[in-house]
Amino acid sequence: MDYPRKPVQTTLPILEAIRERWSPLSFSDQPIEQEKIMTLFEAARWAPSSFNEQPWRYIYATKDDKDDRKSLESLLVEGNSWAKSAYLLLISFAVPVFARNGKENRHAMHDLGAASGFLALQLPSLRLIGHQMAGFDFARANEVLGVPPEFIPGSMMAIGYPGDSALLDSKLKDRENAARTRRPVNEFASRGRWWY
């Protein structure tokens, strides 16, 4: 299976890993080597965080992890059932307080997002693809996975080797083939003061 590419044309040059990053929907169930899985978490490990707190936590399961995998799959909303074909599913959580003093860490979700972004940027170098999802049962995640209630769920991610997009239903195929678009920079960055 060829590695799926959907690079964007940018206004200014950016890192190739960022240009190439996208969220395919078609996954193979081919096993991922454990060293590659650990490499993804090593990438997340080196994300920046407030006071080096590293408030991110991940729970993951492969197709080989039977019951644990079923628990993760049970959290997916119906529209994300395509993710079950991926060999690896993970869910992220943030610790909302600082370990050093027990005070609120207002940046915990930001730091979790940075760690997941680093993880996602590592995928192409391993010939893997990934798709982050908000479509999961946020309210049940802690209970189903045995996570203490003070931890905040972030997102789920399907990770695997590329699959055959011809096997997707027509609606998913349309999403898979849609052009990648983003707002222009001047719609989200303003010098000096608020502009909206």
What is the rounded CA–CA span in Å between residue 176 and residue 23? 8
**Amino acid found at 175:** R
* Angle at the Cα of 67 from the Cα atoms of 116 and 96, rounded to 5 degrees: 35
- Are 116 and 103 in contact by the 8 Å Cβ rule? The answer is no
pLDDT by 10s per residue, the chain, length 196: 788 888 788 999 999 888 888 899 999 999 999 999 999 999 999 999 999 999 999 999 999 999 999 999 999 999 999 999 999 999 999 999 999 999 999 999 999 999 999 999 999 999 999 999 999 999 999 999 999 999 999 999 999 999 988 888 899 989 988 888 999 999 999 999 998 7
- Supply the DSSP symbol for 12: S
Q: What pLDDT does residue 2 have?
A: 81
Sheet strands (E) in 64-196: 88-94, 129-133, 152-160
Give, in order, the Cα–Cα distances in Å from 133 to each of 75, 79, 104, 154, 190: 11, 10, 26, 9, 29
**Amino acid found at 15:** L
Q: Where along the chain do its domains lie?
A: 21-176
- Count other C-beta atoms under 10 Å from residue 2's C-beta: 5
**21-176 carries CATH number 3.55.40.20:** no
